Structure 1
Amino acid sequence: MVNIWETVMDAMKSMTNQDKGQPLHVGEVMACWMYLAGLELAKVTVQAGINTTDDDELRSILDEDMKLGTSQRERLHDFMIKEGITLPPAPADMPISNPNSIPLGVKLTDDVLANELSLKIISLIMNAASASSQSIRTDVGLLFVQFLAEKLAFATRLKHLMRKRGWIQVPPFYVPPGSQQP
């Protein structure tokens, strides 16, 4: 099956030759470093969530995020090595554990796990959007646009699950002074 996103990305890559031999600027390097650091930290949080939850739907979404995070980490890691960028430290993987062996005072609830995952996804989305808009080199910008699109698609599925389960936290509605309540 043809992946439209990959086709568009390939077409855009082939249209630009002006970046050949151009080094990364410090902002691009920092964006790569920060995004990979965020992915590395998110990995252990997701592993802890997988070890903690008994909820099949939440475990499935955590597994999906783990796969997406692994894919993005590998692509960014390879890019950074190719460009000679020092990699951020990565925490060790969490050992697999039984959710029922976690003491109740330590075990996070499913709604806390889902909201924590949501905040990490939001942070990575904001980092990817910022990095793509500040990139001069086309390959860096496209890499972050791709990361952004993948995270946005995942966030939509996560939000659907959170709404379905009543886990989503909605800030108070804003009603301007003098207006009628909605």
Structure 2
Amino acid sequence: MANPFEAVWNSLKIAVDNSDEPKAPLHIVEAGDCWKYVTLMEEFIRYEEIGLNTTTDDEVKEILTDIVRLCESQVEKLSAFIKKEGIPLPDVTSAKPESRPDSIPLGVKLTDDEIMNGLAFKLVTCMLQCAKGQADAVRNDVGLMWFGFYTEWTNFGTTMKTLMRKRGWLKVPPYYYPPGIPDK
């Protein structure tokens, strides 16, 4: 069984021991993961802007505002890294203008339930992409960057799940009862 403390120690040793050696360039999969994640984050921000234009719920607005900050922070970090590595930035959708929630037709307007479940889906997508990026990373600095992003999503997800449970918005698959389980 792998020891998590040993894994952290080995990562720190690699980071310190290799500080004098030049870093290898990113391999094609690392570069692609970075490029794809910036695109994913930018599109996620557009969805959050739509949510902010749609909702009137203060708690949902707070979640959306926090997640916009998180996405923008990750985009800023990763964009700086990508530029430093010589990778061209992706062409992304421009920001949505602000609008009033009461001016959106009901057939188009997202409900708070739909906004929050869309955020949950996007959050899971981001976490999966971070895990893939970390698994693909050969360079230690790249792996640590992905781990940091993943940790931020995990922390944010617990807050979001609490609100979704409180409001009854959390989508739960049907429960599984194996054959022969005693009745409770």
Gaps of 5+ in 2: 1-7
CA distance in 2, matches of 1:111, 1:23: 44
2:67 counterpart (65, 68, 73): 65
Post-superposition shift, 1:166?
A: 0.5
Q: Name the CA shift for 1:170/1:181 in 2 (closer, same or farther; >3 Å).
A: farther
User: Which residue identity does 1:138 align to in structure 2?
Assistant: N
- More displaced stretch, 13-22 vs 140-149: 13-22
1:178 and 1:142 mapped to 2: Cα distance?
A: 46
1:27 CA displacement: 1.3
Unaligned runs of 5+ in 1: 1-7
Shift of 1:176: 1.8
2:117 aligned residue? 115
Amino acid at match of 1:20: P
Alignment partners' CA distance in 2, 1:181 and 1:37? 49
Fraction of identical pairs, as percent: 42
1:134 alignment partner in structure 2: 136
CA distance in 2 between partners of 1:16 and 1:53 (Å): 51
2:145 to 143, 146, 149: 143
Residue 15 of structure 1 pairs with residue 20 of structure 2:
no
Instruction: Work out whether residues 16 and 138 of structure 1, in 8 Å CA contact, stay in contact via their aligned partners in 2.
Output: no
Structure 2: which amino acid aligns with 1:143?
Answer: M
In structure 2, which of residues 152, 155, 158 is the aligned counterpart of residue 153 of structure 1? 155
1:89 alignment partner, SS class: coil
1:180, distance to aligned residue in structure 2 (A)? 3.4
Equivalent-residue separation in structure 2 for 1:101 and 1:128 (angstroms): 37
The structure having more radius of gyration, on CA atoms, is 2
Deviation of 1:34 (Å): 1.4
The C-alpha deviation readout for 1:34-74, integer Å capped at 9, x for no partner, is 11111011010000001100000000000000000000000
Kindly provide the CA deviation profile for residues 84-132 of structure 1, in whole angstroms up to 9, marking residues without a partner as x: 1122221010000001111111100000000000100100001101111
Instruction: Report the AA paired with residue 147 of structure 1.
Output: F
State the alpha-carbon separation in 2 of the partners of residues 41 and 56 from structure 1.
23
Deviation at 1:177, TM superposition (A): 2.5
Q: 1:85 to 1:16 in 2, by over 3 A?
A: farther
CA distance in 2, matches of 1:29, 1:165: 40
Which of 34, 48, 51 aligns to 2:50? It is 48
- With 156-165 and 27-36 compared, the bigger mean Cα shift is at 27-36
Q: Stretches of 4+ moved more than 4 A in 1?
A: none
